[in-house]
Amino acid sequence: MYNSFYGYAMSVCDRYTSRDEDASEILNDGFIKIFKEIHHFKPAYSDVISSFKGWLRKIMVYTAIDHFRKNNKHQNVIELDSAVVHLPIESETAVDKISHDEIIRFIQDLSPAYRTVLNLFIVEGFSHDEISKHLDISVGTSKSNLAKARKQLQKILYHQNKTLIAKNA
């Protein structure tokens, strides 16, 4: 089971941390929970494999939340520049030129607080109320971290676009 779902589970864990060691720790902790609780698994629909993948994904996400709370809750959050970055309007933007792996790397470069809120809100579809309860932060902090994560990603994409334009000039 571990080998069969390793790649899928690791792709979930990678979104919540910037270090491979932390992603491996989350993955292993998640599989320990799965092995301990497998007797509670009941397929939600007829496709047992897809149902199991959804259950596994949920456990990995909650394990990543636990990891965040345990290791990163009190780390200092770096404030971003207050300047607003406007991307130039061109036919091809930086987003059009970057790969999936680069996007994941950019997300991994965010601070742990920003990265976790961004993943929970955008990827997992949690509400700010749910995020605040799971991370033990206020709703306002959740909204603020999401806004700051978006600004930081916008800034990264702006610099990526400028670099690509300079290389092509």
In terms of residue numbers, what domain contains 123? 94-168
User: Given 71, 105, 131, which residue is the final one in a domain?
Assistant: 71
The answer to whether residue 79 is domain-embedded is no
How does residue 96 score in pLDDT terms, banded at 50, 70 and 90? low
24/55 Cα distance (integer angstroms): 19
State residue 98's pLDDT score.
Answer: 66
Mean per-residue pLDDT for 122-140?
91
Please report, rounded to a whole number, the percentage of residues in the chain having pLDDT higher than 70: 82
In percent, the amount of the chain with pLDDT more than 90 equals 41
Give the orientation angle of helix 128-135 with respect to helix 48-71, to 10 degrees.
60
- How many CB atoms are located within 10 Å of the residue 51 CB? 15
Predicted local confidence at residue 3, as pLDDT: 92
Dihedral sign for Cα atoms in the order 55, 138, 108, 24: negative
151 domain-assigned:
yes
Instruction: Give the CATH number of the domain where residue 44 resides.
Output: 1.10.1740
Residue 116 has pLDDT above 50, yes or no: yes
Span 130-147, average pLDDT: 93
Report yes or no on 87 lying in a domain.
no
Assign 46 a pLDDT band (cuts: 50, 70, 90): confident
The closest alpha carbon to 27, from 39, 11, 40, belongs to 11
Q: Is residue 120 included in any domain, yes or no?
A: yes
CB atoms within 10 A of CB 142: 25
Q: How far apart are CA 103 and CA 109, in angstroms?
A: 10
In a domain, 88, yes or no: no
Please state, rounded to an integer, the average pLDDT across all residues of the chain: 82
**Helical spans, DSSP H, in the chain:** 2-14, 20-37, 48-71, 94-97, 100-108, 112-118, 128-135, 139-168
* 21 and 63 belong to one structural domain: yes
- Asked whether 108 and 18 are in contact (CB, 8 A), the reply is yes
The answer to whether the pTM exceeds 0.75 is: no
Q: Which residues have C-beta within 8 Å of that of residue 67, sequence separation ≥ 6? A: 16, 17, 22, 25, 26, 29
Single-letter amino acid, residue 78 = I
What pLDDT is stored for residue 81 in this prediction?
47
The domain total for the chain is 2
